Structure 1
């Protein structure tokens, strides 16, 4: 079920939302300040965020702007500010929806469901590509590009980089890489693996000016952790 982050410093409202959403089988995480929410958003991914504006530590507006630089996860703002100007300002910052306090739980639930339905539809459409820091792999035609410039790869190179981009935090042994790219039992052919990884590294460096693949000595290879840091 979808996981929702509630960012609200009013304990009564927070408790009411948590109880209602939990009863509807949503997974609920809680933050009571903007600073706490920022930390949680940097460590975890959520399907939707319910965001109050008047928060201690970091305002909801600041948090929304910071968050929108990193992801398009739906955000529903909850605020006592009911003016048109307030709504327009927050929506222009990147909020997906805006409800005025006090709100009806049934209405909020319906708005949550609309956003999740739209998000799931977008996810299905976008699932045909892998994108990390502008390095985009098209799963349909097995092509790689950076800032819309194609990087020419052999079929086996494409299989290897696909493996790294699908699992950016995993360290892959040479055996795992060989089985993915050659679809065969690994016979300890380190030279073949090293040559292909070296070729990928060079092509990525030539195109992007940066290193993308890290050697983990005694284990294997992985995507450079700096590429997946927020």
Structure 2
């Protein structure tokens, strides 16, 4: 999966972006020394950069220009500055896209995937499938093939099945699954996880596979 470099001086935002991208199996790297953005870029060799405009020392326009002198790596500006002039300057400096704060993380991920496809003419690991005990999860379109029957999944059902299949044989706690599904599980009713698990189970069972996801009382869930 592609490596994404995050140049964002607001630690909370940077961490949220990093956690979301890691859910989708991106390799992430966050710059911490804003004197060394270009050096970090050369060292890490990312396939895409998320670049804020308002940064300590030099702004994002400066670093975009410096990176463009040596590389055509895709760059997405992320900024609370949302005037037409900011966007025009970003594009003139060589940015490939621009997203304004606040933004939905799902929108950011979609922009990243689209830009990677355009830039490298390939679909990342999203073109892969995950197979286990008769189920084939299509990571590209969020569907699952069960005994030849294709079942559409909601976003949360897909994420649940993805993380459970990737960790088959391991018990995953409710807390870990909540963190994988939502940015801050403190604001999610615990019953929401149960509802999504039950819907996912029902769809799999209706396709003819019983007991695919097991409940471990007091521990969590497992795909054995």
Quickly name the TM-score band, shorter chain normalised: 0.5 to 0.7
1:110 — aligned with what?
110
Contact 1:33–1:55 (CA under 8 A) maintained in structure 2 = no
| Structure 2, unaligned runs of 5 or more | 123-224
- Show the 5 A alignment for 1:4-153: 4-121=4-121
Equivalent-residue separation in structure 2 for 1:95 and 1:30 (angstroms): 19
Greater C-alpha Rg: 1
Alpha carbon RMSD of aligned pairs, Å? Answer: 1.3
| Aligned length in residues | 122
TM-score, reference length from structure 2: 0.53
Equivalent-residue separation in structure 2 for 1:38 and 1:50 (angstroms): 13
TM-score, reference length from structure 1: 0.51
3-state SS of paired residue (2:62): helix
1:220 — aligned with what?
none
| Structure 1, unaligned runs of 5 or more | 123-230
3-state SS of paired residue (1:35): coil
Equivalent-residue separation in structure 2 for 1:84 and 1:14 (angstroms): 24
Contact 1:9–1:33 (CA under 8 A) maintained in structure 2 = no
3-state SS of paired residue (1:50): strand
How much does 1:35 deviate? 1.8
1:196 — aligned with what?
none
- Show the 5 A alignment for 1:142-221: none
Equivalent-residue separation in structure 1 for 2:67 and 2:97 (angstroms): 15
How much does 1:33 deviate? 4.6
1:137 — aligned with what?
none
Contact 1:77–1:99 (CA under 8 A) maintained in structure 2 = yes
How much does 1:121 deviate? 1.5
3-state SS of paired residue (1:99): strand
